[in-house]
Structure 1
Amino acid sequence: MGRRSRDGAGPRPGVHKVAGGEAELLRDADREGGWMLLIGGVPQSYVDLADPTYLDFEYMRLMGDVVDLMGAEGQALDAVHIGGAACTLPRYVAATRPGSRQVVFEPDGPLVRLVRERLPVKNVPGLKIRVVDGRTGTAALADDADDLVVVDAFAEASMPVELATREFVADAARVLRPGGVLLMNVADGFRLAYARRVVATVRSVFRHVLLLGEPGVLRGRRFGNLVVAASRRPLPVEGLTRRAAGGAVRARLLTGDDLAGFAAGARPIEDGEDVAAPVPPEQVFGRP
């Protein structure tokens, strides 16, 4: 464990108190600019301060693939990120799509301060961070205002269920322009009951939906991350299928009838419903 940080800004290994518990910054010995942010012992973000286009987590690389294939290559985006942590994807978007305007909604104020001090974002052009929860922040956005809404938020290693309901997904759809894309990081494990309900929820709002994930996770054999992408217009299925099959991150893509089969029998999640998001098993991340 790194020593506890005291005064002075800039990257430094250490442990810090945040609203969500205890955050730890770890240096990557293999990459000069690489840093891992953990909260409660669970990895939340990996950033390379020297190369923001490097995406270490598998699910983040899949999200990056979706961003890469949105619209014209290098075209600036207006993006909303719900769940900030170390702002990995906002840094990536800023680097690969210059001129983008982005806002991050992160309710953990001490975490935001930690990231600003230790993993600086002031040099990320067009990025703003607001200390507010995702539903409140999204509700304040104008209709048809953004090209991308990313939901990558976790509390105590679980996705907040209020960010997976039909009412919230409909509000995200309201914010998106006609060709805009909703991206969601969903963590689940054995039998994927929660992920199936999230997919059913998104499919009840959007016409075009796909699911990306490592084959073992998609089969429900191990706990892991799945990426849901949705839009009113067709998604870049062919390009994403090629990347999923041949990229550094080997993944499968489900859409159309295959995705309908995945979600068969699952009901959309509604506001006020008593649903518990899955928690990683004890052996995942070495959680106590």
Structure 2
Amino acid sequence: MPDVDRPRAWLLTVDGAPQSYVDLDDPRHLEFEYARRLAHVLDCAAGPGAPLDLLHLGGGALTLPRYAAATRPGSRQRVVDFDRELLELVSEHLPLPAGAGIELHAADARAWLEAAPAASADVLVADVFGGSRVPAQLTSVEYARQAARVLRPGGTYVANLADGAPFAFLRGQLANFAEVFPQLALIAEPGVLRGRRFGNAVLVGSARELPVAELTRACAGDAFPARVVHGAALAKLAGGAGVVRDAEAVDSPEPPEGAFGIG
């Protein structure tokens, strides 16, 4: 018999920063704003319910892979996370449903990406944080080129990033991915974009035209409304920043105290 006292919703924190929320009864329920925005990109990546090949760099509690398995049954998903103990903990306490099509791999994200076959994924989701910072090895233009190489023609790259005004880190990321994708968009809460606070920003890139109108409607109508910035407005935000190469790449900025705390 099921354990009626066992919690069905879980919050995962790492070094005090909330990273994943999982509702075992409803994998379509996404608690965090950034996760909802990543999901909007997945929803727009292909026709409703169509299966996809997804590569996730960063696993957390597997919130987004669970969402994709529920909304796009038959999808093939590979999840790469450096933290083997975390993957084992999640697998034990938050087991995946049978037939979810999700493979877990304990490995370094950059090394895995460089060894992955070309044109092997429809969507690449990057949500890698060492505590509350994106590791430097995933912030360079060389990394961006590897991400583009692994995607199929017309595939979609989507990354969860974090920054605050004056957006030096974010501008470098826009420059990096402008080198490899002709189409870019950025999704963030208006207060973040105006420089009022530090927060998450979801970067989207592709060789094909992005479904900007569809993404805009989804993000504007969300419980946590966000703006989709693209075209001339995105170029203005990038501000002519130069690409960041491996030799000068650094971790994303340290969030101010309480930026991602649990209230």
TM-score where L is the length of structure 1: 0.86
**2:243 matched residue in structure 1:** 268
C-alpha distance in structure 1 between counterparts of 2:99 and 2:202, whole Å = 25
C-alpha distance in structure 2 between counterparts of 1:155 and 1:274, whole Å = 15
106 and 215 in structure 1: CA distance in 2 versus 1, 3 angstrom threshold: same
Write the deviation string for residues 200-252 of structure 1: whole angstroms up to 9, x where unpaired. 11111100000000001112211110000100000110111112222222111
1:220 to 182, 185, 195: 195
C-alpha distance in structure 1 between counterparts of 2:212 and 2:98, whole Å = 34
Q: Secondary structure at the match of 1:191?
A: coil
C-alpha distance in structure 1 between counterparts of 2:257 and 2:156, whole Å = 34
124 and 285 in structure 1: CA distance in 2 versus 1, 3 angstrom threshold: farther
**1:55 matched residue in structure 2:** 30
C-alpha distance in structure 1 between counterparts of 2:258 and 2:82, whole Å = 28
Matches within 5 A, 1:75-224: 75-121=50-96, 123=98, 125-224=100-199
Write the deviation string for residues 24-67 of structure 1: whole angstroms up to 9, x where unpaired. xxx6xxxxx32100011110101111100111110110111111
1:37 to 8, 12, 35: 12
Q: Is the 8 A contact 2:135 2:250 kept in 1?
A: no
Q: Secondary structure at the match of 2:74?
A: coil
C-alpha distance in structure 2 between counterparts of 1:134 and 1:88, whole Å = 18
C-alpha distance in structure 2 between counterparts of 1:99 and 1:138, whole Å = 23
CA RMSD for the aligned pairs? 1.8
Q: Is the 8 A contact 1:158 1:279 kept in 2?
A: yes
Write the deviation string for residues 143-180 of structure 1: whole angstroms up to 9, x where unpaired. 11110001000002101121121111111111111111
Count of aligned positions = 260
C-alpha distance in structure 2 between counterparts of 1:219 and 1:47, whole Å = 31
C-alpha distance in structure 1 between counterparts of 2:176 and 2:40, whole Å = 23
Q: Is the 8 A contact 2:117 2:150 kept in 1?
A: yes
Q: Which runs of structure 1 show a deviation greater than 3 angstroms over 4 or more consecutive aligned residues?
A: 10-13
TM-superposed CA distance for 1:12, in Å, is 9.1
Task: Calculate percent identity across the aligned residue pairs.
Answer: 46
1:237 counterpart = 2:212: yes
2:46 to 71, 74, 77: 71
Counterpart residue identity of residue 153, structure 1: V
TM-score where L is the length of structure 2: 0.94
Q: Is the 8 A contact 1:135 1:168 kept in 2?
A: yes
115 and 165 in structure 1: CA distance in 2 versus 1, 3 angstrom threshold: same
Q: Secondary structure at the match of 1:202?
A: helix
190 and 65 in structure 1: CA distance in 2 versus 1, 3 angstrom threshold: same
Matches within 5 A, 1:3-18: none
Counterpart residue identity of residue 17, structure 2: V
Write the deviation string for residues 102-161 of structure 1: whole angstroms up to 9, x where unpaired. 000101111111111111125361100100011111112111111000100000210112
Point out where structure 1 has 5 or more consecutive residues left out of the alignment: 1-9, 14-26, 28-32
Q: Is the 8 A contact 1:45 1:88 kept in 2?
A: yes
281 and 172 in structure 1: CA distance in 2 versus 1, 3 angstrom threshold: same
Q: Secondary structure at the match of 1:71?
A: coil
